[in-house]
Amino acid sequence: MFLLVGYVIILAASLGTYAMHGNLLALWVPAEYLAIVGLTIGAFVGGNDIRIIKATVAAIPGALKGSKFTTAFYVDVLALLYEILSKVRKEGLMSIEGDVENPEASPIFTKYPNIVADHHVIEFMTDYLRMMVGGNLNTVEIESLMDVELETHHHETAEPGHVMSKSADALPAFGIIVAVMGVVNVMGSVGEPPAILGRMIGGALVGTFLGILISYGFVSPLAGLLAQKAHEGGTVFKCIKQVLLASMSGYAPQVAVEFGRKVLDSTTRPSFRALEDELKARRGR
């Protein structure tokens, strides 16, 4: 949402101030727009494989939405882990085998539809709970495996932002290419009257203007936002990791959950008291 607000401000600051002393129609050179867009799309398609292209296109709509990783979301994650680990402490690891194998039908998991709806989070959580049930790996081995998976996940989720950043870097150069083509056209028309030549030179410079404006005003902010979204989406996995490792190290569920709470950013981290009260309230339901 704020991305769109930013775009409106950028357009108002650039085109609005120009309109105060110039003619906006002078900036309407369709061939320049077509060339800039074509060069950008061509470089994007030619420089990335189909997997990254699909991932980038799919990530862009998410940049326009608000974050789902709110304090309430993390309270649900911690409460779910607390319930699972409490069941393990009371009834043993084998008691959660059914919950882990079919979380969509689990009495515990179904209490948290927002978490179940995120298949990446559920898959990460259940995979390592399944390993805990199997009992074949120790804490060091589990942590090493988690780190490798999180590194892979971070690399994949960071790709759309990285790709958009490269496109933003290329746009000013594409603007120069379009401007040079316009200047070449002007050189071939040196016999025309000054008024016509001036209009042609102005049209050529529109290419440079477009390349810089679209790069720094539109694509670069989008790339930055995609990078922020990727970082934001990785925090929940770190939270789950710390809770499960703490549990494997022998800490009680209440303490293990506190390990996960400490991983969260200060803007989304529930306070110790608020989380404790929430867990007590949910135990009483």
pLDDT digits (tens, 9 = 90+) for 65-76: 878 889 999 999
In this predicted structure, the answer to whether residue 47 has a pLDDT above a threshold of 60 is: yes
Residue 22 lies in a domain: no
Query: Which of 26-35, 36-45, 254-263 shows the lowest mean pLDDT across its residues?
Result: 26-35
Q: How confident is the model over 150-167, as a mean pLDDT? A: 92
Alpha helix segments (H runs only) across 47-138: 50-63, 71-91, 97-101, 113-116, 119-134
Tokens of 29: 């050179």
Residue 119 lies in a domain: yes
What is the per-residue pLDDT for 236?
93
Cβ neighbors of 65 (< 8 A, separation 6 or more) are 1
Residue 3 lies in a domain: no
Residue-range definition of the domain harbouring residue 94: 30-285
What is the per-residue pLDDT for 171?
93
What angle, 0 to 180 degrees and rounded to 10, lies between the N-to-C axes of helices 50-63 and 220-248? 90
pTM confidence score? 0.81
Residue 35 lies in a domain: yes
Q: How confident is the model over 177-186, as a mean pLDDT? A: 83
At 55, the pLDDT band (50, 70, 90 cuts) reads: very high
- Which secondary-structure segment (H or E) carries 186? helix 139-187
Residue 14 lies in a domain: no
Q: How confident is the model over 39-57, as a mean pLDDT? A: 92
Number of structural domains, the chain? 1
Residue 2 lies in a domain: no
H helix and E strand count, the chain: 13, 0
Alpha helix segments (H runs only) across 188-252: 194-214, 220-248
What is the per-residue pLDDT for 67?
82
The owner of tokens 């000054």 is: 194
Q: How confident is the model over 80-85, as a mean pLDDT? A: 93
Q: How confident is the model over 248-274, as a mean pLDDT? A: 91
Residue 193 lies in a domain: yes
What angle, 0 to 180 degrees and rounded to 10, lies between the N-to-C axes of helices 50-63 and 30-46? 120
Average pLDDT, the chain: 88
In this predicted structure, the answer to whether residue 22 has a pLDDT above a threshold of 90 is: no
The pairs formed by 84-91 with CB atoms below 8 angstroms and a separation of 24 or more are: 84/108, 84/129, 85/243, 85/247, 85/253, 85/256, 85/257, 86/253, 88/132, 88/247, 89/252, 89/253
Residue 162 lies in a domain: yes
What is the per-residue pLDDT for 279?
84
The residue that leads in pLDDT, 46 or 204, is: 46
